[in-house]
Structure 1
């Protein structure tokens, strides 16, 4: 229809100049981390089981290489892969395709280097290779979008020795070696490499954890880093919810309080940006992480939400609805899902806040009865205050020892209640949220053990069996923090 509409109109090709267009493609906002992730996406789509990434320092001659054992390409397929915009984003793709625009290999590579070479071979076929050299392609006397049939001999030989697979080489690393016209040194180069490795550990952690993919980074196996700490006993998962007729899966996780984690695990989260920073939604497409630690405008990051993380799984046919960008580092949910996601977020945040404020206590679903806190939260005329829980078994036991002094003891408790330094506690908790002592933390075990023993003895005299006693202690502050002592008792 549109062809006939302009049949008698004068026409002229508006092909963009290669130089200006390529330089523009270099500035889409890729970091070394996101660029490397795009190269790995192509290897995964090629059904690679193993990927070798090497950062090799040699001053301005430094290079970065990516080699995989995927299905490989013949020459026609490789030339098509080197063409910017090699596929339309509107074309339906295979379910495991991690690309969309047909730009990832080119824009990711352009963003970090001025020379990149793609080599490949299919099983029982010769090696094929082509190169982009931006200085050549953007030269005034070059015929536009020109790639070169050349590669370094050592790289050709390496691919030739493989049964099948592909290799991408980045050279003339102007965006990595020369940052703002200031050359970096070898230490800086490998600091960038370490940053890239840590990014890969998170972005592809589900592939790495299940063994679907193995990555060797400078010869060292990469291990997946799970932002949900699913392997920790104290992690609290929510039931999975389905949206969009089952196409979108959402699952919340409450991470353990610091008191429930080994110190090295806590520190590992701190190294990755800090616990406050890592809260929020994590959006995956085909198990590949697209967007990490973002509340999607539903709420702001707050210190007492730090244990809340929510996984969203998308299929690739919803890319457009979720506004997935070229770099695969941005995603925005459609308006039709925002209310559902907000409801899920509120539930997860509420539970995470309780775990944080009560220092890791979880109301264990397998146990009956309510958790016994020492302090009770009260509300009167819209204002909050706290009272000592006189029904707490320890309080009851101690009051029973001095029946004739009960009034005096209650007066003393009232003075304590009325003088709780709430503002000071809140200020310190906000300023140093992870540096507050837990109850009896610096006290000899014998002291808290004797309190447990006294309670247990009283309950036994009432004919209560050991199983119920253990359940009661696990559901009682402060003993819930000392499960190993309960087991010993």
Structure 2
């Protein structure tokens, strides 16, 4: 029951330290650190039955002295306070708002055992912890509790910088020496049981195919053939074949080994030594790999679930491939073919009655690969040739989510992720794009046939709802791994649905972004949330303006600078004057075009009303009665003004148009941040 608790302390909590009071910085008389109720409920499940939780705490008295103090958590209304210890040492003269409170607590004992530290704002331990994906939830919660391995990075950093408090003593188990009467082979994992576990990697069929394509690209493939015939013709099977470098017999055996560790070069899409097996087993009970390196003999190895179940041994088969698959696995000079047989039935429910389940699967694979690998198919990956991917002999077409001709692009910016040491720092490259609004898009596709128009709409919306396509697009080594949504920085908003933001990173940032084993999960460290919010204020305003049909003409680009990777921000939120900025012809924090506000004649279909809550001072919606402006309590003066104007329709219509002007300048976001 080990938890790592993190909190950024505020003015009101620092009165706990005598030195803070002696310096005259105190603003309140509070002598405790606040603990959120949800954290206490998670760490101490029995807390609901008590008002006091005893904790024996270890902390620093000075640079070299560790003291242990009997402390407590005391219920304060719904939340709790950490009390019982107010350090008097001048050692804490560094405390200021923003210091990081970190506690590692073992809640399995009574009283609980804990060690805590207050980490200065400029300390490398604070930088490393807040620059890692483990801290992501601090962006939406004042305090977080990480259970066991969830806080592994934070615990490692704390142990390295403050070993007196957090480094656990090394122990040698008395059972570590083998004994003659023990059968140690019994502790090996059961092959069938592990197969079943690894087969639940969270893959859909399209994402599994994409993971197998990753392997082909990592081996330098220029052409990839995916064969997926109708299940009604010879059963359900699939083959992914490439013309890459292939593998020797020894290399093939290593590739079939679960968790095989190898050296990954900078452009290698692999990560854990698991992708081939996990992706294949998520869909099929039999995996056969045929591979041939130039000038070498071809090799064939198979993992078969039935064989694992029968022998209960990790035993590879080298049987020849059945004749019916021979054309699909045929390799010329070099390459690899991954053959999935005994594939399990489709798990996704059939949508509608117009197409067969097989046709829907083909369409889903096609759409997924065209999006995920669009840079490879376009030939826009530095240092490598254009890649051709064929699905049942049909060449896939790239679907660049920011590539529509009417999309308006902002300059690229960079945010540095500071690692635990300077040599472990990495960089995120951020570029915002505003896609065309509905009127512009409909005008653009007007010359096309109805079928072509439908295809274009589906490609722009990524075969889903346009509102779901807004947000971040994370590219790992030019391969799209996650897209849509704002990672809790912003809520999805109809008025910002045109905004898409590409975030590029390489292998050096994987640990800090906590890329998971399926390479589909990313967490933004807390340290980058404020810089990202700052960088996106102007693009968000531009997206709103374009949504409201007030943008510049469809033929005027927002940026003509091309690829521009310039120096930029640090995790502290400092923003340079170059990079992700509007074009010189469009002043920052100004409407995207110089068009005047719409005339007050909108009053017959615009209403302004007060609602009880919301994340912004006001929001504009389209209801059954037309346009409505909903005003929240975040700005009391605005609420009072709406109340005064309640009976005057003309005045409320004028207010609505005035608020519209403020929206184009991003004022709602600025006010929401200050509220």
Fold conserved between structures, TM > 0.5: yes
Q: Cα distance, 1:223 vs. partner?
A: 0.7
Residues 299 and 162 (structure 1), Cα distance of their counterparts in 2 relative to 1, 3 Å cut: same
Cα distance in 2, alignment partners of residues 331 and 212 from structure 1? 27
Question: Hey, what does 1:54 align to over in structure 2?
Answer: 227
Q: Cα distance, 1:132 vs. partner?
A: 1.0
Asked whether the 8 Å contact 2:283–2:344 carries over to 1, the reply is yes
1:287 to 462, 471, 478: 478
Residues 135 and 347 (structure 1), Cα distance of their counterparts in 2 relative to 1, 3 Å cut: farther
Asked whether the 8 Å contact 1:257–1:360 carries over to 2, the reply is no
Cα distance in 2, alignment partners of residues 335 and 226 from structure 1? 29
Cα distance in 1, alignment partners of residues 229 and 625 from structure 2? 43
Cα distance in 2, alignment partners of residues 431 and 267 from structure 1? 29
Residues 156 and 81 (structure 1), Cα distance of their counterparts in 2 relative to 1, 3 Å cut: farther
1:248 to 418, 428, 440: 428
Cα distance in 1, alignment partners of residues 366 and 175 from structure 2? 53
Q: Please give the root-mean-square deviation of Cα atoms over the aligned residues, in Å.
A: 3.2
Cα distance in 2, alignment partners of residues 157 and 54 from structure 1? 10
5 Å matches for 1:66-465?
Answer: 66-87=240-261, 93-139=264-310, 142-150=311-319, 151-153=321-323, 155=325, 159=329, 161-176=331-346, 187-210=356-379, 212-229=386-403, 231-232=404-405, 234-244=406-416, 247-261=427-441, 262-263=444-445, 264=453, 265-270=456-461, 272-361=463-552, 371-375=593-597, 388=600, 416=601, 419=604, 421-422=606-607, 427-428=621-622
Asked whether the 8 Å contact 1:56–1:63 carries over to 2, the reply is yes
Cα distance in 2, alignment partners of residues 417 and 72 from structure 1? 66
Q: Cα distance, 1:293 vs. partner?
A: 1.0
Residues 253 and 114 (structure 1), Cα distance of their counterparts in 2 relative to 1, 3 Å cut: same
Asked whether the 8 Å contact 1:80–1:86 carries over to 2, the reply is yes
Question: Hey, what does 2:422 align to over in structure 1?
Answer: none
Q: Cα distance, 1:7 vs. partner?
A: 5.5
Residues 343 and 110 (structure 1), Cα distance of their counterparts in 2 relative to 1, 3 Å cut: same
Asked whether the 8 Å contact 1:137–1:147 carries over to 2, the reply is no
The total of aligned residue pairs comes to 385
- Show CA shifts across 1:100-134 (max 9, x none): 11000001010001111100111122211011111
Asked whether the 8 Å contact 2:378–2:398 carries over to 1, the reply is yes
Cα distance in 2, alignment partners of residues 349 and 122 from structure 1? 50
Cα distance in 2, alignment partners of residues 428 and 417 from structure 1? 13
Question: Hey, what does 1:440 align to over in structure 2?
Answer: none
Asked whether the 8 Å contact 2:606–2:626 carries over to 1, the reply is no
- Show CA shifts across 1:244-266 (max 9, x none): 26722111111111222223334
Cα distance in 2, alignment partners of residues 259 and 24 from structure 1? 49
Asked whether the 8 Å contact 1:127–1:156 carries over to 2, the reply is no
Stretches of structure 1 lacking an aligned partner (at least 5 in a row): 377-386, 389-415, 434-489
- Show CA shifts across 1:361-385 (max 9, x none): 4697576998453536xxxxxxxxx
Normalising to structure 1: TM-score of the pair? 0.71
Cα distance in 1, alignment partners of residues 365 and 466 from structure 2? 20
Stretches of structure 2 lacking an aligned partner (at least 5 in a row): 1-169, 380-384, 417-424, 446-452, 559-582, 610-618, 628-675
Cα distance in 2, alignment partners of residues 204 and 57 from structure 1? 24
SS in 1 for 2:259: coil
Residues 260 and 17 (structure 1), Cα distance of their counterparts in 2 relative to 1, 3 Å cut: same
**2:21 pairs with 1:21:** no
Asked whether the 8 Å contact 2:190–2:312 carries over to 1, the reply is no
Cα distance in 1, alignment partners of residues 605 and 231 from structure 2? 63
Residues 7 and 24 (structure 1), Cα distance of their counterparts in 2 relative to 1, 3 Å cut: closer
Asked whether the 8 Å contact 1:120–1:159 carries over to 2, the reply is no
Asked whether the 8 Å contact 2:239–2:328 carries over to 1, the reply is no
- Show CA shifts across 1:177-226 (max 9, x none): x779xxx9993123112101100000000000115211011111001101
Asked whether the 8 Å contact 2:605–2:625 carries over to 1, the reply is no
Cα distance in 2, alignment partners of residues 185 and 62 from structure 1? 21
Bigger helix share: 1
